[in-house]
Amino acid sequence: MTSKTRKGQTRRTLSLKDAFEVEFARREMERRARDEAERKQQEEDLARATQLLEALQADPEFLAKRDLVADRRRYTVSIDHQDFRIAAYFEAGKASVTLSDKRTANPGAAAPRKQLTVETLADALAVMAQFLVDETR
């Protein structure tokens, strides 16, 4: 049995090269989409860290009264005291909030004592406040 082609139509056969190019282009589009999604997520994490720092620095008298310093390094926002550090690290739309004790650690290497993962900026601020109350009571 043979198939007929209309006059003027040419039958195109798929080649390995064609299949390779199609697959390569598909994977490249997927890679670009992943890269763009990751870039967007990083921008959101950085924006949330910046917003948290702004909230912490909103009352400089409060920080000074308690000998606290609020700082941000990329995705990490921290409240430092002579005896402890409270830090929130933003990644993949979540924040990991930790309380570290500086009294029992080597200088520059605070040992984590508590850690909670939260979903929202408001939750990160609330957990940081809880940890601060725990340390100042």
Whether residue 85 has pLDDT greater than 80: yes
Q: Which residues contact 74 (CB under 8 A, 6 or more apart)?
A: 46, 49
User: How many DSSP H helices and E strands does the chain contain?
Assistant: 3, 5
Gap between the Cα atoms of 55 and 124, Å rounded: 11
Is the pLDDT at 69 greater than 80, yes or no? Answer: yes
| Residue-level pLDDT at 30 | 97
Average pLDDT over residues 78-103: 92
More reliable by pLDDT, 11 or 68: 68
pLDDT confidence bin for 103, thresholds 50/70/90: confident
- Predicted confidence at residue 105, as pLDDT, reads 60
Residue 102's pLDDT band (cuts 50, 70, 90): confident
* Mean pLDDT within 28-45: 96
Evaluate if residue 9 carries a pLDDT over 80. no
Count, residues in the chain: 137
